[in-house]
Each structure stands twice: as structure tokens, then as C-alpha cells.
A and B are shown apart, each in its own frame.
Chain A
Amino acid sequence: MSLIESALQKAKKLTGNASGEPPATHLRPAHVRLPERDAATLAAEAAQARVLPTASVGQRAMEEAGVILAVEDEAVQNAYRILRTRVQQRMQAQGWHSIGVTAAGAGEGKTLTSINLALALARDANTWVCLVDLDLTRPKMAAYLGLKFGKGLSDYLAGQASVEEIVYNPGIERLALVPNAQPLLHSSELIAAPRMQLLCNWLAAEVPRRIVVFDLPPVLMTDDVMKFAPNLDCTLFVVSEGVTARDVLQRAKEVLDEMNVLGVVLNRSTEIEKSYYY
């Protein structure tokens, strides 16, 4: 059974009606029609959004990291758009609002994928996004974005900051960031701590409702992902061509079978370099 099938079965169990029959929408998530909203509705949503503290991003850092805001590669842009659309459709079909981005090991592009996915989702006028750097041992989101900010997630988990103080507005429409500057020990305990649950609840209660993208650590290197999995609606698994080993992938699958896996994204591929140019 594939990851998707197992995830779908789990979703059936979670979202099925009283008779136990699963809703019909999950059978063909690609064909769910996204709700249409006019400009007034969108403006009203924007007015409802909380005013967040600002944090500037660095164009140079983003360009060097490969963030799509600073990259002009059309193929990359298209690829992330496709990813965004598919993720959006599946999440909306299941009514999911939180997604974790992980991989088997380090250096496979989880952080960049989560950043670019969040940015691609935020480009959609109907979607509000919050990106959380939950890789407590090696936080890199702020570095990739060239983010200049004050307190971060580590401060919050240490009880030295409030939630409002760590959710930033990077100046990108419909996007909020929860960065982390300092690596933390005992990350799995902190992830399971009540303050993390409070953060997740706070983010879930935000208006307009945001899709929260969590940049998670590698699933085979720590137990953070498994600890935090109950707080996630679904997981996006990143595979890096030439970096992820096949046997590692097999081991990761065993772990992912216990989670809701929305899908897999193949990163750094040389497979179809020209097909994205349209």
C-alpha cells in the first residue's frame, strides 16, 4: 500500500460521517473546486488579520538560498506552483490546515521546500500562510530568508517571549513567519511541551485561518517529527535526487506509514529540466 493510500484510509477514519461512510470529496481530491472570493471578501479578510511585528528579509540571502522570491528560474517557479496547487487541493479536500515538511535526512531541502511552499501558497489570494521553523536543533529558515528579527521560537519555548512576539510579518502578503535563531537541546521534549501546543492552538485560531507550514527536522534523525505528528494534519515528504539513498527511503517509509503523508516532492531533480519551460 502506498503512502497516499494509507494516508487516505486514515483520513477516512478521521473524517468519515456518522454512518461510517467517508465523504465523497476525498475520492477525487484533485477535482475539488476551490471557493471563489471576490476582492471585497479578500479585503475584509486582510483587515481582520492581526498586525504582526515586522521582520525584514534579505534579498541577497534569499537569492543565494534559492528562495523563489529572488530566483528567476521559470522551471523552479512552475514546479513550486504545481506543488502549491496540489497541496492546496488535497488539504482543502480533507479540510487540513497544518502541514509538516520533513525528509529522511539532512541536506535534502526541507527548509527551502517549506519556505518556497509557504511563499507559493501565500501568492494565492485565497490563502494565508504561517511558516514555522520547527527544526529546533538546526534552525535555518531565518538564514535562508536573511531575516532580521528579535525574539524567536527558542525564546518562546524558554518562556521568555509570548506568541505575539515571535510571529512576524516579513512584508510578504498573507505570510507570517515564526523563526528560530538558536538551536536547542532536548528538542523532542520541547516540541511535546504545553507551550508548543499553545502555539499550535494560537496559530489555528488565527483569523483568517492560515495554513501552517512547519519546517520539521529529518524524520530518521530525531523523534521530533513523530512527537509532533499529532499536531499535524498531514506531512509532506521531501526526497532529494542524488542525496536520499534508496535504502534510507525504505526506512523512512516505515516511519511515514504511521503518519498522514500528503505526498512526496522530488527535489534537485535533473529529470525534466525543460518540461517546466512552457
Chain B
Amino acid sequence: MQPEVGMTVADYVGAVRRRRLVVWGIVSPIVLIGVALAVGLPDVYRSAARFRLVSSGIDGVVQRRDELIDQYIRGLSDKVLSPEILRPVVREVNPYSDLEGQEDLAIAKLQSHVIVDMTRQTVLEPGGGRERTINTGFFVAVDHRSSEMAAELARRLTALFVEHGRADLLAAATNRVEFFTAETERLSKQISDLERQMADFKSANFGRLPETVQANVMTRGRAEQELEGVEREVRTLQQNRVFIAQQLRQAQAGPTAGNLQALEAEYAEKAAVYAETHPDMLALRRQIDLLRTGGGVVAESSLQAELEAQQAALVEARQRYSDDHPDVRRMIRNIESLQVRIASGETTLATTDTLATTQLRTQLNAINTQIAGLQSRAAQLRVRLAQLDTQLGATPEVERGFQSISRGLDTAREQFNQMINKKMDAEVEVAAINSGSVDRFALVASAGVPLEPAGPKRLGILVVSVVASLTLAFAAVVAAELFDSGVRGSRDVRNALGVTPLSVIPEIRNSVFRVRRKKRLMAFAGAVVLGIPTLFLAVRMVAA
């Protein structure tokens, strides 16, 4: 049954007065516990180190978002406060003497006494002017009953945070270095393969490469020109051969004065060019001498002797001229012609030949030899031209393949250069991290020895216990009133029966009442007298 609507403050006060036992039963133990806690809890000292977040520029992110910062610090805190990291600290410092030998418990206790939290600042957004709270840093605090121990633990944790913060960066940077190194090696190998492929391609397509097109064109031009020259020279020699053959036929018909004069004129003309020991000059001299002596020369000389004479003259000519000299080359042709005749079984020169005919015949043979040589050369040139045409015809296809390999090679080289640069950047980053110049956070306030205890908030505990007890007591009173179906006061009687009581009899305070109240007081006093020290000792034991 619920209390009647419209209850006044006096009704509530009356309800509290009626439920004094309930109120005291709730308030007393809670306040006692509060007093025991406020008095019994030992002092706790807090030593804290403060860090400021630093904008990172190495990785390109100028300002991290708050949630990333928060997550990063939380992750770093979880790592530093892990048992593996704290175990050496606990072993060296031994912060809890009562847990000596129980490292796991000591670690767990230390973890529960470490506070890591962000520090925030309210700033105005540049654009809209709206206030925003951002993370500017974080702090690491350690609670301990000894101020020196709190400071020592805080200093060690500070060093661990710095160390592991750098370790994270270093690990990331080292990974990048390794990655870029592997990439450069891979690209280097790829480049080597492509270069080898290029070399093989060039070897297989030598002369058809795009870079040789110009040379091939020029070579073809020169070959064409040379072929034209050779053919022109062949034609000229053929004309000369016809003329000399005619002269030979004339010379074979007999010697004349005209011939002597011609020979003398030719001798005088050639004397301006050649020396007297020149073979042509010697041959002309002999012919002139023979004509002057009045007879034909019945010379019966062997081819072998002629060959030897030509060879001797060649030796002498080579002393003066190079092998490219026309006379030397003519002598060589003569010698080759004599050797051919000797090899064919011919042994003697024509005995009826005069000097002129011999000379003419020699010239004719030389011309034949020249023509043969030139024709051979022309054939070579034609073959060479055909080769060049083939090469030039295959050049576009070869060029396509060449470009393909070239592109791959250029791309690989470009990538290689990029990887080299990135690798260098990563190596620089590693060096910077090791030097501590790119830490994500900087220590702004190191942990010192606290002079005053940070807790417990004794007054606060007392106030909270009093407020809580009163609140609970009032709630209990209200609940008791809510669930109390008994009559309370004259108003309930009026509401139920429609009549005001003739009299309101208060509770009789006789000896029984006094004895009962006395028992309650004694029980309460006993609870207080025993409870406070017991709670105090319990709090001390638990706090220890």
C-alpha cells in the first residue's frame, strides 16, 4: 500500500522518527566503515611523469587524430605494463616487501597501482571558432605508500615508456629498410636480366637494330656508290681491253717506224712519272732497243723466267710503294696471270712476240685480271647490298622488340632509383630514431619524490559515507513506509473510519521500554566499540 498522496515534510520527518531503528541500523555501520576507512587507510603517495605529444614529420603525418593518439598510448601502456616488461623492475626494486618471492602477485599489484591517462586541452578550431578538446600528452603515475618507492617506480616506468616508444618506431623503420632493400635487390636482378636479354637481342639482331639503321643506310649508300664505281671501272677497262687488243693485233702484224716513235714518245712520257728501273720503263727500253737494232726480237723466254723477273720487280716495287699502289697491284696481277699460264702447262712466251706485243699482251692480261677482280668485287658488293636490304627490311620488327625490352629496362631502372631513395630515407629515419630526435612524445616533467600524500581522501570518505548512509537510510525508510500497510497517525484512522481518534496514546516509556532501549544502545555501543577497531585493523590488513 503506498503512502497517501500529499504527504508533507512533517510526515516524512515523522516517518524517519518512527523508523529510527532502521535509520540507525543503516547509518551506523556505513559511517563506522567510513570512519574506519578514513582513519585506517594508510597514506598513499603518487609520483607522476608527464609527457607531451610531438608531431611526427618523418612519416608525413603532421598531426595525428585524437583517437589514434589515444589508441597508441593505450597500446604502449599495455605493452609496458605487461608482466614480461615489469618483471625485471619488480626484481630489481622489490616494491612490495610483503610479496617478496611472489613476483606474479607483486606485478599484479604494481599494475593496479599504475595510472596512465591522457592530458587534454580545450582549443578553438581555426575555421569555425568552436571549442574542441584535444589530447596534448599523457602522464604516468605510480601510487605507493612510500614516497621514495613511488618516485623510483615512476622513473623506471618513464624510461620504459621512452624505450618502448622508440622501439615501436625503430621496428617500423627497420621493416621499411628491409623491405626497400629487398625491393632494390629484386629490381637489380630484374635489371640484370633485362640487360642480358637486351644484349642477347642485340647479338641476335646485330645490324638490324634501330641504332644501326643509319649506319646500314650509309653503308648501303657507300656500297652502291662503290658498286657503281666498280661497274664504271669495269666498263672502262673493257673499253681499254678492246683498244689494247686492237693494238696487239696491229703489233702482231710487224714493227714499223711509227711504232718506234710511239714507243719513244711513250717512254718519254712515262719517264716523267716512273723511274728508269721501273719495269714498264725497262720493257719499253727493250722494245725501243730492239726496234732500233732493226729486227724483231726473236725472244724465246720462258714463262718461268718472266715470272721470276716480274717477282723481282715486284720486290723492288714493294720497297718503294705499298701494296695498294696501282703499279704494285698490276705487277701482282701479272704474276698471277703468269702463274695461271704456267699452271695450265704453258711454258714459254710467244717467240714471235715483239716487245710491243708482249707489252700489249701484258696490259691485256692485266686488264683482264683487273676486270676479273672488279667483277668479283662487284659481286661482293651486290651480296652486301642484298644483306643490307634484308637487314633494313627487318629493322621495324626488330625495333619493336628492342623497344619492348628497352621500356622494361627503363621502368626497372626508374623503380630501382625510387627504391634506392626510399631505402636511404628509411635508413636516415632509423638513425634519427636511434638518436631520439623523432620521438612521438617528449618528457616535460620527470617523476619526483612527492612530499604530500595523494590519498586517501579522508574527508571525502567520511562525507561520502555519511551521505551514502543517509541516502540509503532515507531510501530504506521510504521503502519501509511504502511497504508498511499499518496505520500511521490520525489521518490514516480518519481515512479508514471517517472519524478522528478520541485520544492518541503515545508509546508508554516504562521499565520495559527503557530496558529495551538500553539494550539497543548497549548493542549499538558494543558494535561501535568493537566494530571500529575491528574495521580499522581489517582496513589496515587489506590495505597492506
Contact = CB atoms under 8 A, between A and B. Distances in A.
Interface of A: 1-5, 63-66, 70-71, 73, 75-76, 79-80, 82-83, 86-87, 109, 113, 236-237, 239-247, 249-250, 253, 256, 261-273, 276
Interface string B491-503: 0110011111111
B488 A249 contact: no
Nearest to B494: A2
A133 B504 CA distance: 23
Of listed A87, A244, A246, A256, residue having the most chain B CB within 10 A? A246
Interface in B438-488: 484-488
B502 A270 contact: no
Interface stretch (B215-223, B287-295, B505-513, B521-529): B505-513
Contacts of B492: 246, 249
Given A73-B508, A270-B14, A83 B503 contact: yes
Given A71-B508, A79-B504, A242-B18, 20 more contacts: A2-B499, A65-B510, A66-B508, A66-B512, A73-B506, A76-B509, A239-B487, A241-B489, A243-B486, A243-B487, A245-B486, A246-B485, A246-B492, A247-B1, A256-B497, A265-B504, A266-B504, A268-B507, A270-B18, A273-B506
Contact of B490 (A64, A266, A268, A276): A266
A242 B503 CA distance: 16
Contacts of B501: 239, 263-266
Contacts of A71: 508-510
B519 interface: no
A121 B288 CA distance: 206
Of listed A82, A113, A241, A253, residue having the most chain B CB within 10 A? A241
B87 interface: no
Given A3-B498, A270-B17, A264 B508 contact: no
A79 B496 contact: no
Give 9 closest A-B pairs by Cβ, nearest first. Answer: A2-B498, A83-B503, A66-B508, A263-B502, A266-B501, A249-B496, A245-B485, A86-B502, A2-B499
A264 B488 CA distance: 14
Given A3-B497, A249-B496, A264-B501, A270 B1 contact: no
Given A241-B488, A242-B18, A245-B485, A266 B503 contact: yes
Contact of B486 (A244, A262, A264): A244
Contacts of A272: 504, 506
A87 B501 CA distance: 11
B503 to A, nearest CB: 4
Given A242-B486, A243-B486, A271 B504 contact: yes
A244 B503 contact: no
Contacts of A268: 505-507
A25 B502 CA distance: 19
A240 B493 CA distance: 10
A75 B507 CA distance: 9
Contacts of A5: 498
7 contacts: A2-B497, A239-B501, A246-B486, A256-B497, A264-B493, A264-B500, A272-B506
B455 to A, nearest CB: 43
B511 to A, nearest CB: 6
A144 to B, nearest CB: 12
Nearest to A270: B18
Contact of B506 (A245, A256, A276): A276
B487 A264 contact: no
